[in-house]
Amino acid sequence: MHNFGNAKNWYTSAQNNGFSVGSTPKAKSIAVWTDSSYGHVGYVVSVNGSKITVNEGGMLDTNGNAYNGTGILNGSVCNSAVGSTKSSYSSKILVGYIYLTENNSVGNAVTLKAAEDKNTISSNNAVIWGRVDKPSDYAVTKIGIKVRKKGSTYDKGWEKYEAPSKSYVGNTYMYPYYDLKSELSANLIHATKYYYRFYAIVNGKEYWSDEYNFTTTGSHSYDNACDTTCNVCGNTRKVESHKYTNDCDTTCNVCGAAREITHKYTNACDTTCNVCGATRKVGSHKYTSDCDTTCSICGAVRKIAHKYTNSCDTDCNICGAKRVITHSFKTVTAKATLTKNGSIVKKCSVCGTTASTTIIYSPKTFKLSTTSYTYSGSAKKPSVTVKDASGETLKNGTDYTVSYKNNKNVGTATATVTFKGNYSGSKKLNFTIKPKTTSLSKLTAGSKQLKVTWKKNSSVSGYQIQYSTSKKFLGAKTVTVKSYKTTSSTLKSLKAKKTYYVRIRTYKTVNGKKVYSDWSKALSKKTK
């Protein structure tokens, strides 16, 4: 196996060179593991359930030294299943086994095959020939054959091994043959397929041929297509079920076998078979009264005409039979307004029976999510929550819609609630858009005065300054600056050496009314 390459390639290389390979663990085989580098191989000494015992080379002990000074480790126990990892090398995966005793042509030195042209096949026997090709100096010490029936195994077939009276040396080929009836005591069946393999010990090594097959002559004989047992040999077969024209046919169309059948009728009063149309005589239907709809014999249902005063009447005027009726209900809706409850009334249009009355409570409370905004240049749309007189929340889009007006610029904006569905009317809700505020830049102290400086806001009409000796601006005084261009003002007639708190806000005049911003953050300063 010097030309097999790295260990991880041995499985494929062995297969390409005529060795038998597989996933079943066997003694005297080579186990092959693969990984990303070189792989690993080991000689299988024995198989014990799910474990194999191997002898392997290239091994190091825990100190990094070669086992026994040679790198050979005997008696290592590993998992036997293909796909399992090696216990000492978790990265190595078992890919399969190379069977050293089952190859049919190692190095093309020895070949076993069938000599099918020499076979003699009859209905109850076969003489099977094989051929062994070998070098002239190779000795054949044992030879044999195994035979099995199709669908069976060799363990349940026949076998013959024999030791030649002398070792065959000198000739390069030999023809073993076997009379299966006389030599293997095989009871062959006509028209049946059998399989076989040859076996030989050549120069002390075990060789097997490929599997071949033959079919005995003759044919099975059956009474008809439904017969399961051969009249000649008793061989049994599977056949399809009997063939009948329909479910009521009593005779098989293939073999004539008879069966009992039962006709199928809809009920006890039905006169015609639903399958084949066969007819029968039955008595007439029986009813309890002229208004009875169901036959007391078969349950057949007929149509009858009860007499009722109107479509909502439940008692037949003839027999008094009661019926379940369905009123012709119509729904009338009176919409709720802001001042009056509405209703939904379900009432029969025939007899006037009222099925249900549902009160639609009038809208009572209205709430904006936000009542005050600071101007940003974008439209403001606060959400609106509406509750009815019972406290239930109405649904936006179902019960009402909301529209907005004057909701972009500084001033008073309007949200209009327009009712729909089970409600009518509208409600206007106002909210404020305040101008942008400004901030104080600094306070400069003077003798009984303070100079106030702030940042200019060109989008407003003016400013309002508020000052007080109280942090909470109790008793505060105000000064109005009427031009947005002004950015400073001096507060005079103040108390000396007193700390004052100052804040500022903007205002914008809309429709003759001042709209103020929020107050700025306050600054404090002591006068001189």
Give the three-state DSSP class for 164: coil
pLDDT given for residue 70 in this prediction: 65
**Are 114 and 203 members of one domain?**
yes
Please provide the distance, in angstroms rounded to a whole number, between the alpha carbons at the two ends of the chain: 109
CA 93 to chain centre: 31
**Are 209 and 110 members of one domain?**
yes
Calculate the dihedral angle through the C-alpha atoms of 206, 207, 212, 218, rounding to the nearest 10 degrees: -50
CATH number at residue 451: 2.60.40.10
Residue 353: inside a domain: yes
1 CB contacts (<8 Å, ≥6 apart)?
10, 13, 14
DSSP code of 238? Answer: -
Residue 318: inside a domain: no
Please state, in angstroms and rounded to a whole number, the distance separating the CA atoms of residues 29 and 85: 18
**Are 445 and 418 members of one domain?**
no
111 CB contacts (<8 Å, ≥6 apart)?
104, 105, 132, 133, 134
Ramachandran class of 379: left when φ > 0, alpha when ψ lies in -120 to 50, beta otherwise: beta
Please state, in angstroms and rounded to a whole number, the distance separating the CA atoms of residues 339 and 424: 10
Q: What is the pTM of this model?
A: 0.41
**Are 392 and 338 members of one domain?**
yes
**Are 71 and 117 members of one domain?**
no
Name residue 487's amino acid.
T
What DSSP assignment string belongs to 389-455? Answer: TTSPBPPBTTTEEEEEES-SSSEEEEEEEEE-TTB--EEEEEEEEEPP---EEEEEEETTEEEEEE-
Residue 1: inside a domain: no
CB 30 within 8 A of CB 8: no
Residue 305: inside a domain: no
CB 115 within 8 A of CB 176: no
Residue 278: inside a domain: no
Residue 298: inside a domain: no
Tell me how many domains the chain contains: 4
Q: Which of 174, 194, 215 is the last residue of a domain?
A: 215
Nearest 5°: CA angle at 187, between 185 and 193? 120
Domain interval for residue 23 = 7-99
* Cα torsion angle, 74, 75, 78, 81, sign: positive
CB neighbourhood size of 304 (10 A):
15
**Are 93 and 11 members of one domain?**
yes
Give the three-state DSSP class for 282: coil
Please state, in angstroms and rounded to a whole number, the distance separating the CA atoms of residues 465 and 477: 8
163 CB contacts (<8 Å, ≥6 apart)?
141, 142
**Are 341 and 417 members of one domain?**
yes
pLDDT digits (tens, 9 = 90+) for 150-160: 888 888 889 99
Calculate the dihedral angle through the C-alpha atoms of 232, 234, 239, 244, rounding to the nearest 10 degrees: 70
**Are 41 and 124 members of one domain?**
no
**Are 427 and 358 members of one domain?**
yes
Q: Which of 77, 99, 121 is the last residue of a domain?
A: 99
Residue 286: inside a domain: no
Residue 277: inside a domain: no
Please state, in angstroms and rounded to a whole number, the distance separating the CA atoms of residues 420 and 336: 10
Record the tokens describing residue 256, joined without a space: 């004539």
What DSSP assignment string belongs to 40-66? Answer: EEEEEEEEETTEEEEEESS-B-TTSPB
CATH number at residue 422: 2.60.40
**Are 69 and 169 members of one domain?**
no
Please state, in angstroms and rounded to a whole number, the distance separating the CA atoms of residues 221 and 87: 61
Please state, in angstroms and rounded to a whole number, the distance separating the CA atoms of residues 397 and 370: 20
CATH number at residue 87: 3.90.1720.10
pLDDT given for residue 3 in this prediction: 66
pLDDT given for residue 259 in this prediction: 87
Record the tokens describing residue 252, joined without a space: 């098989």
* Residue whose C-alpha is closest to residue 194's, from 125, 141, 243, 108: 125
Q: Which of 99, 124, 149 is the last residue of a domain?
A: 99
pLDDT given for residue 385 in this prediction: 97
pLDDT given for residue 311 in this prediction: 80
**Are 416 and 457 members of one domain?**
no
For the chain, which ranges sit under pLDDT 50?
102-108
Q: Within 13 Å and on the Cβ side, how many CA atoms surround 227? A: 12
**Are 73 and 128 members of one domain?**
no
